[in-house]
Structure 1
């Protein structure tokens, strides 16, 4: 017998024993008191479980708009477009108790620009357990879907995984990393879950969040950033409208993209294509100082400068953008501190 059932049975036996054997007023009072105590215990027992064990309740899932805004402003560097879109999209979705469809974000950009980091920030400001929450699910193409010959099996598994987890908690989050390495056609298997359906087989997916991370489209983002730099315009002048159309077309027509010719784009089920701009030297400096702060190391601009200068930049002659963004900052900082 499970411990919980054993405890409840024991309490009931104590109450029953007191009520059947006692005939004096004082004993009767004790029995009534025990019964009342048991009723209160049973009523609060579930709440105690909710307190100590993560569950799909507001105690564990509650959006912190102020926290997300502060994190995007203080921890994400060089991404004025992405920060603005993410905050508005997530805030609008989480504030709606009856959304028409799941929130679908497609994050694009070169390596080390902050796509994974933003996913982490979103999770940390929705789930008390952050990325460790049992309601946050990360799929990596090369790990979960390695063999092209198994694509039909993967489609069935993916549908089952998503259906099972959303059934368990409507406010589930699914992060698909390495979309540029995903087998074309695989992601289409979850298209019905992202559409404007009230329920599918009794399950509503409208409160779930789907985030796709991809390097696909990075070239077009870089080219736009270079064009602005060449014309003498600052990167902060770049707007979403300068990138969104070319980005969605680039991803849709790229055979190396997991979103190649996907119905998700064709049917306009992706709510936002979020561009992540290539990072400049000044942004790398900010990344280094932020990492030093996270490690509780006194900020040292000389060390930050050494780390930043050690990275590779492109184009080679101008050295404008860091090839790997802030991706290798942690290991580089280990060398200089």
Structure 2
């Protein structure tokens, strides 16, 4: 046995998730080298390539909690619901189904931020991990007439990814732009005690992002406010059934969907419309990201680009914190030019 073969056998013995290790091993040879390789764990394949292990999927919930506290504004319900759901799913040694969460809210309320924070906390390589899979409504499912093709591709891709890693995550953005019926193909992957050939999807995570229910949620939050209930006093029960009904009845990927009708979505997560105080924090972040501590004048000028509704109270930003990055960039240049002209 040459050294290269010896080394590869050693790597394969130590590797927990390597599809490359198909070497016909002679039992005597294996027995003879196993003990000598036991102390060479650092040489395992997983030291050089991402593997489906705790090393690459550390699930750092302390990091996630801290990030949500400091970077996600006005979303106490989303913070609490998502953090507890993920921790419970990872701590369950024998889950009965994949974790499925549906994020709902107006544009700019933080749904994509939350998804990115989750990925960064769960996976060592973040969005670059081989176990993180993004789908975008208008990009991946652009035509209403291709539903059968989309379903076939989704089934094959998810099956392939789960064969590589049971802890894979699948994030579907713009669900309201996905052709109706497409997501019905997910039912076998989301079902309880699934019986699928060659894969076990119960440790996987599915997250759906949608604007559906956002307007109804804003109206309901306003009604609660008028009744004397403060924003921070609201609970998941105040919104969850409202979101489930909206997702099922509004046009989009979940319209009349089997995934909702068969109760396979575990958590409908409300992203509440943002108020002025939350938008101001987003503006400050946008300037700090560009190395500028904004003055009150800079903040107020950026705020002039934000519209609020519904009438007559106009408590909530119509677009959340969307587009504020670009506005902050332009205003930074404007104030910089103004200072330079005075020198």
Q: TM-score range by the shorter chain?
A: 0.7 to 0.9
Go from structure 1 to structure 2 and tell me whether the alpha carbon gap of 1:63 and 1:188 turns closer, same or farther (over 3 Å shift): same
Question: Structure 2 matches for 1:172-183, cutoff 5 A?
Answer: 172-183=168-179
CA distance in 2, matches of 1:57, 1:11: 21
1:95 aligns with 2:102: no
Q: Which residue does the alignment assign to 2:265?
A: 270
Question: Structure 2 matches for 1:216-295, cutoff 5 A?
Answer: 216-254=212-250, 256-295=251-290
How much does 1:46 deviate? 7.6
1:333 aligns with 2:328: yes
How much does 1:239 deviate? 1.5
Q: Deviations over 1:274-310 (max 9, x none)?
A: 0111111110111122233334433544423321232
How much does 1:229 deviate? 3.1
Go from structure 1 to structure 2 and tell me whether the alpha carbon gap of 1:294 and 1:92 turns closer, same or farther (over 3 Å shift): farther
1:310 aligns with 2:305: yes
Q: Which residue does the alignment assign to 1:162?
A: 158
SS in 1 for 2:202: coil
What is the TM-score when the length of structure 1 is the normalising length? 0.85
Computing the radius of gyration over CA atoms, which structure comes out larger, 1 or 2?
A: 1
CA distance in 2, matches of 1:302, 1:49: 55
How much does 1:55 deviate? 1.8
Q: Which residue does the alignment assign to 1:202?
A: 198
Structure 1 residues not aligned, in runs of 5+: 13-35
SS in 2 for 1:289: helix
1:61 aligns with 2:36: no
CA contact (8 A) 2:186 2:259 kept: no
CA distance in 2, matches of 1:211, 1:11: 41
- Structure 1 window deviating more from structure 2 (169-178 vs 227-236): it is 227-236
How much does 1:37 deviate? 11
Q: Deviations over 1:220-265 (max 9, x none)?
A: 11111221333443211221111111211121122x1211111111
CA contact (8 A) 2:105 2:271 kept: yes
Q: Which residue does the alignment assign to 2:80?
A: 84
How much does 1:336 deviate? 1.5
1:75 aligns with 2:71: yes
CA contact (8 A) 2:59 2:123 kept: yes
CA distance in 2, matches of 1:45, 1:272: 40
CA contact (8 A) 1:199 1:205 kept: no
CA distance in 1, matches of 2:94, 2:303: 46
Q: Deviations over 1:32-89 (max 9, x none)?
A: xxxx999967974884531232221111111111111111111100111111101111
Give the RMSD, CA atoms, in angstroms: 2.5
- Structure 1 window deviating more from structure 2 (192-201 vs 159-168): it is 192-201
CA distance in 1, matches of 2:198, 2:138: 32
Aligned length: 309
CA distance in 1, matches of 2:204, 2:122: 12
CA distance in 1, matches of 2:291, 2:40: 41
- Structure 1 window deviating more from structure 2 (147-156 vs 44-53): it is 44-53
Q: Which residue does the alignment assign to 1:134?
A: 130
Structure 2 residues not aligned, in runs of 5+: 9-31, 333-343
